[in-house]
Amino acid sequence: MSKRIGIIIAFAILAVNLQAQEKLSYPEVDKRSYELFLEKRWDELIQLSKESVSHDINFFYLQARTGIAFFNLKKYRTAADWFLMAWESDQSFDWLQEYLYYSLLWGGRTGEAGKIAKNFSPSLQQKLKVSEQKITRLAIEGGYSFNPGFNSLTDKPHGQQAGVGDNYGEAFYLKNYHFETVDISHKLSPGFNLNHSLTYIGLNREERIDWGETENFSIKINQFQYFINPDFVLAKKFYFSPSAVIIWGNSDLYLGGLTNNMSRFFYNAPYNFSDFIFSLSVWSHFGNLSPGGEINTANINNESLLQLSGWVTLYPFSNLNFYITPRIYLKNDESNNFGYNAFGISGGLQLGPAHLYGQYLNGEMKNFIESAGYVVSNFPGVSKQKFSGSLYFPTGKQYQFVFRYIAQDITETYQVYTNLVKSNSVNYNYIKHTLTAGISWNF
């Protein structure tokens, strides 16, 4: 008897499954998905699509309608994947091409949007202006950085703390600096862009020399930085972005000397300097994740270094309204051993028309490289922590303002020399604050 009951139950389950499969036939899914599409019942349409795909029912119009449903829910990254599936099936519809383009663009996949647009109809390319070679962005930005503890720092007896005595001791205290930068971005072809910038930094430090007596000198440093960075897409969605940075400038430097009768004197010995950084970044997009990596090779402050980093950007809402990026940095040390260097986390949040971006870094940051070499810490000190926040907000259709605040702790060294050989030292700490403002024109 129990065996018969088991057979009956098995047939009942099979009948239910067959009935479900009959309900999810191609004609029924096509009809139902079209009804939901017309009624703009996006969540139900997405659920129907999931059930249909799980039953191996997947066709062009279902893909397109599902993409439109996600698009209207502003889940552009997910929408792009559905539109790409539909695009693989049929590339003849202008409306599909336009949906695909904007879902990629608004989902943060700008390079892919530009590259795939080369295959769009001529009329749509003209409408989207994707085939034009032109300047796409021009920006200017200026900033001021200062050490609020400068006066108290220079009043401290670092020479006594380091036991300088009759030896030679020196330190360089940051007072402030200002910078101005100009950025230009070009579109050379769809999916191929060139970005470059020129920056000037005017830095003021105070040099202290203890050599029998204490002397203080004002140090002026002029630094220039040129940054060039092409970015393009290879294959379907692998982004490559090499960059090069050239840094050059000049600085005052005061030294102590001895006359023929062994009297001590001080003189200015200005010098020129130059640094170079080459970087290569590679990343891609998979659903709501974007993993990437970067390699930097450089010569900074007469030290050769190799730095690697890797990251994953998460888009929990499948758009640019909120995203977060944890990142780890590896670097070779003075003994040429390679290992952990720093950890960073950054993210962005859309607040109405404004966009807020923040970053936090923690580690052993000396001669540290960020953003493909766009930001280079080539000051002589070491930083353990850095926090930055940027607020972007548009005005009109073409203009965007940005305000930034950066706080970074710095550790530098008062150095004692005995017979021209380093013999003792003491560290001193301060926090550097930076305020910047800029405007960009998007063409």
Give the tens place of pLDDT for each residue, 275-289.
999 999 999 999 999
The DSSP bridge partners found for residue 13 are none
Beta partners for residue 205, in sequence order: 174, 219
From the list 369, 343, 347, 372, the residue with the least C-alpha distance to 358 is 347
Strands 399-418 and 134-146: unpaired
The pLDDT of residue 15 is 47
Burial of 332 (0-12, 13-18, 19+ CB in 10 A): middle
Q: What is the pLDDT of residue 1?
A: 47
Cβ-based neighbours of 305, under 8 Å, separated by 6 or more = 296, 297, 298, 299, 331, 332, 367
Range with the poorest average pLDDT among 39-53, 57-71, 94-108, 253-267: 253-267
Q: To 10 degrees, what angle do helices 42-54 and 60-72 make?
A: 140
Going by pLDDT thresholds of 50, 70 and 90, the confidence category of residue 264 is very high
pLDDT digits (tens, 9 = 90+) for 341-369: 999 999 999 999 999 999 999 999 998 99
**Model confidence over 299-323: pLDDT tens digits?**
998 889 999 999 999 999 999 999 9
The string of pLDDT tens digits covering residues 8-65 is: 555 445 444 544 445 678 999 999 999 999 999 999 999 999 999 999 999 999 999 9
At 141, list the tokens: 């930005």
How confident is the model over 406-423, as pLDDT tens digits?
999 999 999 999 999 999
Residue 156 structure tokens: 């401290």
Cα separation, 113 vs 338, whole angstroms: 38
- Tell whether the model's pLDDT for residue 66 goes beyond 80: yes
What is the pLDDT at residue 348?
98
Domain 2-128 sits in CATH 1.25.40.10: yes
Percent of the residues in the chain that have a pLDDT greater than 90, as a whole number: 78
Ranking 116-120, 188-192, 204-208, 406-410 by mean pLDDT, the lowest is 188-192
Above 90 in pLDDT, residue 262?
no
* Cα–Cα distance measured from residue 233 to residue 190, given in angstroms and rounded to the nearest whole number: 10
Q: What is the pLDDT of residue 16?
A: 45
* 139-192 pLDDT tens trace: 999 999 999 999 999 999 999 999 999 999 999 999 999 999 999 999 888 888
Sign of torsion, CA 154 160 162 168? positive
Question: How is the chain split into domains, by residue range?
Answer: 2-128, 134-442
The residues pairing with 433 across neighbouring beta strands, listed in sequence order, are 146, 407
Return the residue matching tokens 């792009």.
80
| CA Rg value for the chain | 30
The whole-number pLDDT of residue 18 equals: 45
**Domain 134-442 belongs to what architecture?**
Beta Barrel (2.40)
For residue 19, what pLDDT is reported?
47
380 pLDDT band (50/70/90 cuts)?
confident
Higher pLDDT, 333 or 437: 437
Q: Mean pLDDT across the stretch 225-238?
A: 93
439 or 118, greater pLDDT: 439
Banded model confidence at residue 328, pLDDT cuts 50, 70, 90:
very high
CA 230-389-296 angle, to 5 degrees, is 35
